[in-house]
Amino acid sequence: MANYFLEKQLEAIAVETGTSVRSLRNKIREAAVGLSLATACSGTDSPIVLAKHMGLETSFSCEFDELKRTWILENFPETQRLFCDIKSLKRDEVLNVVTGRKERVPSADIFITGFVCKSVSSENNERKTYKNCIQEGRGETGETFSGMMDYIKKHAPPVVIAENVKGITNRIDGEEPVILQVVEAMRKAGYHFEYRILNTSDFMIPQSRNRCWMVGLRRDRFSAEDVEEVFEMVQQMKAPKTMALKKYFAHFKVGTAGMPENRTLNPRQRKVLKAGLKKVPHRRPRDQVIVDVAKSEQRSPVQLQRTPCLVANSTMYWANQQRFLSAEEVLALQGIFTKDFKAARGKFLTKHRRLCHDLTGNAFSMSVCSAVLSAVMLKLAET
């Protein structure tokens, strides 16, 4: 399924450049020879699926949560190195949960990483306390970012791709956005570095999800123009039109495994639904209306034809069908399909439904990650 996103995105580049998808795929595979990819704090570890399609080797994964590590190991049984804490990657040796032994943390050519968003999220009422969290290494955001930078400074991967919430680009209490601290840290570490706000709904998935995607290319191998050109390619990969929710589920044959036990709205949720519907008074009967009923009446996030942004505590209600979205459906709204993640259907959708929702809220969107990574690989093919 991830291959579908990659194929469509390469088709867009082929049109722009007057070449073929096969030629672009060959360029990516040739560029991937001998290169390795490492991930940290990526949620579902979706970059590993993309790495397989592109011919990249996997260096290691890193995930703090024990149950999420189980997700990684059961969906990617070939994993050889899985570390527990991004803050420990600066050490010479770290516990590898696959072998149960302390092992050397290897270098990687491409480092795809998240860092905790809590301190800078617009949903955090105390975010102004962390307006200098990156510089000071404070809060969960600052601490995990420091872990990310420690690895980067020690191993100097040629390519760094990172993702965080849009709130990192917003001013906090009148101060400069935290993202500028990230820019400064990466440039001091020797990288040409740029960021863009990318919405998942522009990349073939019907979810309104704005995230800050960042790319750093090591200065001794790339130019500042190279980073700009990576994001120009990403821009070209935007879908001219995204399928509406119902069509999307039908196209990818998404089922309803992992439905909540209680399938009726409680009184508070009914009020949130009513408030959400009031925000779209001119909706047509055929419009698909989705409301996140986990939020307050004042917020009542609502979207037509797509879902509002999925976060870990979201509860999406499909008004037209008078039902909640299942765990299988919310995972699909991040491009996480059971065809690519075979252990999901056998265990996680039934026994760990809440984990699936948590993974969805914290995962990279597969289609956006595909666009950014494939653009980077095409740039590597040029150099």
* Structure confidence at residue 127 (pLDDT): 54
| Cross-strand partners of 291 | 302, 317
pLDDT at 208: 98
| 72 contacts: CB under 8 Å, gap ≥ 6 | 45, 61, 63, 79, 82
Predicted local confidence at residue 73, as pLDDT: 95
Domain layout of the chain by residue ranges: 2-241+364-382, 245-361
The rounded distance, in Å, linking the Cα atoms of 350 and 258 is 5
**Total residue length of the chain:** 383
Question: Looking at residue 284, what is its pLDDT?
Answer: 92
Superfamily for 2-241+364-382?
Vaccinia Virus protein VP39 (3.40.50.150)
Instruction: Choose, from 41, 62, 84, 117, the residue flagged as catalytic.
Output: 117
Question: What is residue 191's predicted lDDT score, i.e. its pLDDT?
Answer: 98
Residue in this structure with the two tokens 């001998």, named with its chain if needed: 34
Active site residue 117: yes
Query: What's the confidence (pLDDT) of residue 298?
Result: 96
Structure tokens belonging to residue 142 = 């600052």
Written as tens digits, the pLDDT of the chain (383 aa) is 899 999 999 999 999 999 999 999 999 999 999 999 999 988 899 999 999 999 999 999 999 999 999 999 999 999 999 999 999 999 989 999 999 999 999 999 999 999 876 666 656 556 556 567 777 677 788 889 999 999 999 999 999 999 999 989 988 777 888 899 999 999 999 999 999 999 999 999 999 999 999 999 999 999 999 999 999 999 999 999 999 999 999 999 999 999 988 889 999 999 999 999 999 999 998 999 999 999 999 999 999 999 999 999 999 999 999 999 999 999 999 999 999 999 998 789 988 888 899 999 889 999 999 999 999 999 999 98
Answering whether pTM is above 0.75, one says yes
Contact call for residues 189 and 152 (beta carbons, < 8 A): yes
Please give the pLDDT value at position 130: 57
What's the confidence (pLDDT) of residue 63? 94
| pLDDT score, position 76 | 95
pLDDT reported for residue 133: 73
The pLDDT of residue 129 is: 63
Distance from C-alpha of 177 to C-alpha of 46, rounded to nearest angstrom: 28
pLDDT of residue 117: 67
Query: What Å distances lie between residue 54 and 46, 78, 100, 172, 374, CA to CA?
Result: 13, 17, 30, 39, 8
- State the burial class of residue 304 (Cβ atoms within 10 Å of its Cβ: 0-12, 13-18, 19+): middle
Write the secondary structure of the chain as one string of H (helix), E (strand) and C (coil).
Answer: CHHHHHHHHHHHHHHHHCCCHHHHHHHHHHHHCCCEEEEECCCCCHHHHHHHHHCCEEEEEECCCHHHHHHHHHHCCCCCCEECCHHHCCCCEEEECCCCEEEECCCCCEEEEECCCHHHCCCCCCHHHHCCHHHHCCHHHHHHHHHHHHHHHHHCCCEEEEEEEHHHHCCECCECCCHHHHHHHHHHCCEEEEEEEEEHHHCCCCECCEEEEEEEEECCCCCHHHHHHHHHHHHHCCCCCCCCHHHHHHHCCCCCCCCCCCCCCCHHHHHHHHHHHHCCCCCCCCCCEEEECCCCCCCCCEEECCECCCCCCCCEEECCCCEECCHHHHHHCCCCCCCCCHHHHHHHHHHCHHHHHHHHHHCCCHHHHHHHHHHHHHHHHHC
